Amino acid sequence: MSETNHPKEKTFIMIKPDGVERGLIGEVIQRFEKKGFQITACQMLIASRQLLEKHYAELKDKAFFTGLIEFMLSGPVIAMVWQGRGVINYARKLLGETDPLNSLPGTIRGDWGVDIGRNICHASDSLKNAQKEIALWFPKTKGVVNYQRGSIDKLLYE
């Protein structure tokens, strides 16, 4: 079985301040749970500038970087770790395109997003970035719970 199809693959998902403020936390979580993915860590926090600058480091030379950081500092976020077979790629499909106006109805951004700078959620785009983002947002002192659901996993995976 390839690493990207392993049932224990983990990814980082973050509901941004616009999603929190608009009361979409439950809706976002519900979509992942209904798909069969398992949440293994969740915290609400107002991220520090330092944490956000590390998280978005690859964008620091972009014109929108300062505005992005200021927006992300504007309110709490929900940082989460999800696991399941193919969760990294499928999470990006559930979210839709970065620009909500290019996202299909039925996706999180397609249903609730309006502007590229206010697109509800972030999702890791690769296994390497998922591992890096999980370690950044959930350092060893906070940890991610490693557990397997009981009989439901037998219904989801061969």
- Tokens 């392993």 sit on residue: 6
In contact, 77 and 44? CB cutoff 8 Å: yes
Question: Looking at residue 7, what is its pLDDT?
Answer: 59
How many Å separate Cα 57 from the centre of its chain?
A: 17
pLDDT of residue 104: 97
When computed from its CA atoms, the radius of gyration of the chain, rounded to whole angstroms, is: 15
Alpha carbon distance 89, 126 (integer Å): 8
CB-based contact 118:71 (threshold 8 Å): yes
Per-residue confidence (pLDDT) for residue 154, from 0 to 100: 66
Active site annotation includes 6: no
Catalytic residue among 84, 122, 133, 144, which?
122
pLDDT digits (tens), the chain, 158 positions:
344 445 579 999 999 999 999 999 999 999 999 999 999 999 999 999 999 999 999 999 999 999 999 999 999 999 999 999 999 999 999 999 999 999 999 999 999 999 999 999 999 999 999 999 999 999 875 666 666 666 666 666 66
Specify the pLDDT at position 2: 43
Judging by beta carbons within 10 Å of its beta carbon (0-12, 13-18, 19+), is residue 97 exposed, middle or buried? middle
For each of the domains in the chain, give its residue range(s) and CATH number, in order of start.
Answer: 3-156 (3.30.70.141)
